[in-house]
Amino acid sequence: MKDTVGAVIFLLRISWRNGRRQLTLGAVLILLGFAATPLVAVAAREAVNAALAADEMTSLRWSVATGIALTCELYLAHFAHLYYFELGEINEKTLTSELISSISEVSLERLDSPEFLDSIAILKQDIVRMRESVSAVFKILAIVVQLVITSVVVARLQIWLAALPLASAVPVVLGHRAELVLERGRREAASVVRQLARLRSIATSPDTLPELRILGVEELLLSRHHSLQTRAKDILLKAQWKHAAWRAVGQGAFAAAYAPSVAFVIYMVKNGSVTVGDVVLLVTLITRVSAQVVTGLDLFASLHSVANGFDILRHLNFADLKERGSDGALPIERISTGISLEDVEYTYRGMTTPAVSGVNLHLPAGSTVAIVGENGAGKSTLVKIISGLYRPTRGRVRVDDVDLGEQTPESWRARVSTLFQDFARLEFSVQESVGVGHLPDIDNRAAVLSAFRRASSGKVVDDLPHGLDTLLGLRHEQGRALSGGQWQSVGLARSLMRPKPLLLVLDEPGHSLDALAEEQVAEAYLSAAKDVAYRSGGVTCFVTHRLSTAQLADRIVVVDRGSVVEVGTHEDLMARRQKYFELFELQSRGYVS
């Protein structure tokens, strides 16, 4: 109960902040609509009693009052829903944007925590579900008010439970028509909603966050999210208005038929221990209030079910999870000596054994380095440390004489280009999907074409129906599905967009390609590495499971059980006949067999 109350308070606060007009108007309409229920019964009683007393004018006035109260009861809640639909859109957009912004600042090591990821998953679900929660809060409050008024009205009577089925063909038929209209609106918006879901997945998934973090595309994603959200809202809001109109017509027809029905029943009832009007009062109140109580219980259950998610959102302090570092840009334009790791150790949260430990490694300026080792040896962890996505739990990383631990993570990542094993497949246009690699050039067609050429992938653009303007992904009506190799080319071109990176990281992005395709990709890697070395003295690190590719690097780093066990050229390592020699021989026998 305490969590539910806390969720309600939190929900009202953010709703007041985001849309106080919608909140206020919706609340007033709901309260008036529910308060009208007892007034319907009271007006009907007075109309009946006046009629029996042959007071025609009084009976007519109360009959009109009954119709007015009934109209308020039936109409106001539906039109309140329109305001809460709009408020729900605003709340969802605001909270999703805040969630994306907050997650973009959370250290990646926290994003590797299952507990944190579970919390985020609950939040994403409940942010969507909160659309109906604001309305539910005021409906529950209105039901309470309705019960209080009803208790006052019937306090002087001895009440016997009665039931009066209310049925009408017109509101049923028109209500079905209203649902069809609403469903058509949902189908029309389905494509936009799917794009929204995909964009949210890209912006919050641990698989894509490393690359997005390097690229710094938070504002672009938020802008795209806002645009899609607006399109979906416009389509659905139009359908909601049509839905409300059909429902209003049907219930209006029912209301118009109600007064004659009451008059017919009144004149058939004989005098008893209570007036005929009192009978009408009781029947009207009991049937309506009993239904509203059931509704209130359902609404309360719904609020209780999302209270856990709201509690997480209220208490999750993203500020404590942000990455730390001093302000300012990285004071290096070109690497002169290299990148050094000094006694580096990294332990994942909740683990006692380090993923990498005791790493002392120097990567000379302008060099090409292949990082090899068995699965789970710590290769990917090592490159994430080098690229600034993970901060060492012990030791330090230096670029020339600059300690990266004393710099903001963003200052180093702004000089890093990456293509990870599970690189982001951004379903934008080709121009945008590659252009986000360097946001100032996202609309620069010449820069994107140059990146494709340096990636030796110019043919990919030529083969697409609209060139750089081709939309990627089947979620778009005219979208184009790419093969694994084509996506690989797009990803590599994106990693080459930054003009003077100090580090280029390629973490087994060709793992799903065949041997010939991966060899072609490796040649593109080496070409890109030479370009990086020439432009900025930058270092290129690529993780590979094919040791034949590793031979092309200036030096090979062998990782085993979280430690660097060998460093050297292919010839040096083969001559030592240690770990690298064993791996190479084992892989060679596999190809021969």
pLDDT of residue 11: 74
Question: Poorest-confidence range of 22-36, 54-68, 302-316, 460-474?
Answer: 302-316
**Interacting residues of 202 by C-beta distance below 8 A, sequence separation 6+:** 208, 212, 221, 424, 426
Segment 492-526, tens digit of pLDDT: 899 989 988 999 998 876 555 556 666 667 777 78
Q: Residue 409's CB: how many other CB atoms inside 10 A?
A: 22
Instruction: Tell me the per-residue pLDDT of 293-343, one tens digit each, with 9 for 90 and over.
Output: 556 555 665 665 566 556 666 555 554 445 554 455 678 889 999 999 999
Q: What are the pLDDT digits (tens) for 123-156?
A: 666 666 666 677 777 777 777 777 777 766 666 5
Give the span between the Cα atoms of 542 and 521, in whole angstroms. 12
Q: Encode pLDDT of 275-307 as tens digits.
A: 667 667 666 766 666 566 556 555 665 665 566
What is the predicted pLDDT for the residue at 3?
A: 59
The answer to whether the CB of 92 falls within 8 A of the CB of 131 is: yes
Is residue 323 a contact partner of residue 107, using CB atoms and an 8 Å limit? Answer: yes
Nearest to 438 by CA among 507, 502, 494: 494
DSSP character at residue 271:
P
pTM equals 0.61
Q: How far is CA 271 from CA 150, 293, 310, 427, in A?
A: 24, 31, 56, 75
Partnered with residue 487 across adjacent β-strands are: none
Q: What single DSSP character describes residue 504?
A: E
Instruction: Work out the burial of residue 561: count CB atoms within 10 Å of its CB; fewer than 13 is exposed, 13-18 middle, 19 or more buried.
Output: middle
* Whole-number average pLDDT of the chain: 77
Is residue 116 over pLDDT 70? no
Q: CB of 106 within 8 A of CB of 152?
A: no
The residues spanned by each domain of the chain are 2-317, 423-499
Lowest mean pLDDT, pick from 31-35, 36-40, 159-163? 159-163
- What distance, in Å, lies between the first and last C-alpha atoms of the chain? 67
Spatial separation of the C-alpha atoms in residues 365 and 418, rounded to whole Å:
17
Distance CA 214, CA 436 (A): 10
pLDDT confidence bin for 447, thresholds 50/70/90:
very high
The reported pLDDT for the residue numbered 504 is 92
Segment of 141-145, 178-182, 471-475, 558-562 carrying the highest mean pLDDT? 558-562
- Class of the CATH-defined domain 2-317: mainly alpha
